[in-house]
């Protein structure tokens, strides 16, 4: 007998551990998707939702939580990842630079 392997879509959210339950509730309320919470994130049955549709729903969740400025969604095979943007450190410019004393007073 051949066993049918259960297809699973995973949502990996390493840096957002505190938001796992909120995302599971969001997916359940918005599209009636049941998910299983794991140590890495969430797992959903692939027959219920395609990967790219899930990625779109996760993007909506990030937008609703106002996290879309710091996190983005990446899709790879059957894995949807939530990653943090790597912002370059900005050099602060002095709004009021000091001028030389000769320039202040003139000649």
pLDDT one-digit tens code per residue, 50-90: 888 889 999 999 999 998 888 999 998 889 999 988 876 66
Residue 101 lies in a domain: no
- In the predicted model, what is the mean pLDDT of residues 90-95? 71
Residue 69 lies in a domain: yes
Query: Is residue 46 classed as helix, strand or coil in its secondary structure?
Result: coil
* Cβ-based burial of 55 (10 A; exposed 0-12, middle 13-18, buried ≥19): buried
Query: Is residue 4 classed as helix, strand or coil in its secondary structure?
Result: coil
Residue 2 lies in a domain: no
- Among 86, 87, 36, 33, residue whose Cα is nearest residue 55: 33
Residue 38 lies in a domain: yes
Residue 55 lies in a domain: yes
What was the pLDDT predicted at 64?
Answer: 93
How many structural domains compose the chain?
1
Please say if the pLDDT value at position 99 is more than 70: no
Alpha helices, DSSP H, located in 1-107: 20-31, 51-64, 101-105
Residue 106 lies in a domain: no
Q: Which residue range(s) make up the domain with 70?
A: 8-84
pLDDT one-digit tens code per residue, 12-49: 988 888 889 999 999 889 888 888 888 888 888 877 78
Residue 56 lies in a domain: yes
Please say if the pLDDT value at position 4 is more than 60: no
Residue 102 lies in a domain: no
């Amino acid at each position: 007998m051949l066993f049918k392997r259960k297809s699973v879509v995973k949502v990996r959210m390493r840096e957002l551990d505190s938001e796992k339950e909120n995302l599971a509730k969001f997916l359940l309320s918005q599209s009636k998707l049941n998910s299983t919470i794991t140590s890495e994130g969430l797992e959903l049955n692939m027959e219920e939702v395609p990967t790219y549709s899930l990625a779109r729903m996760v993007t909506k969740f990030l937008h609703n939580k106002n996290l879309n400025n710091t996190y983005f969604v990446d899709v790879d095979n059957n894995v949807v990842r939530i990653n943090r943007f790597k912002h370059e450190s900005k050099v602060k410019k002095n709004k009021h630079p000091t001028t030389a004393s000769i320039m202040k007073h003139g000649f």
